[in-house]
């Protein structure tokens, strides 16, 4: 079982800085999702910035969400992308 999301911060360039309950800090790139289905709504930066943690997953207003499994499995360790990203949360 993958860990739940503990905190999220929406960054520029449609990235999510995530901290998981196991202490890992990872980055999730939302850009591939922005042209698919209901996620096109997240092209609105104000809506994208409204990301929040609910029950271990990330949710936005209007019924948009991503499971903790997707976020964990498809994210990259923050240190592997940019050491400064690891300090954001």
In this structure, what CATH number is given to the domain that contains residue 22? 3.30.2020.10
**pLDDT 10s per residue in the chain (89 long)?**
899 999 999 998 999 999 999 999 999 999 999 999 999 999 999 999 999 999 999 999 988 999 999 999 999 999 765 555 555 55
Structural domain span for residue 21: 5-87
Within 10 A of 68 (CB to CB), how many other CB atoms are there? Answer: 21
For residue 88, the model assigns a pLDDT of 53
| 23 φψ region: left (φ > 0), alpha (ψ -120 to 50), beta (else) | left
Please write the tens of the pLDDT for every residue from 45-70: 999 999 999 999 999 998 899 999 99
Cβ density class 1-18: b for 16+ within 10 Å, e for less: eebbbbebebbeebbbbb
Q: How many folded domains does the chain comprise? A: 1
Which residues, including other chains, have CB under 8 Å from residue 30's CB and lie 6 or more apart? 14, 15, 16, 39, 42, 48
């Amino acid at each position: 079982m993958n860990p739940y999301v503990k905190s999220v911060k929406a960054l520029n360039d449609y990235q999510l800085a995530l901290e998981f309950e196991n202490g890992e800090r990872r980055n999730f790139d939302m850009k591939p999702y922005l042209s698919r289905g209901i996620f096109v709504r997240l092209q609105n930066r104000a809506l994208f910035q409204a990301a929040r943690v609910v029950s271990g997953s990330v949710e936005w207003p209007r019924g948009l969400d991503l499971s903790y499994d997707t976020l964990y499995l498809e994210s990259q360790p923050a240190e592997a992308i940019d050491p400064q990203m690891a300090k954001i949360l």
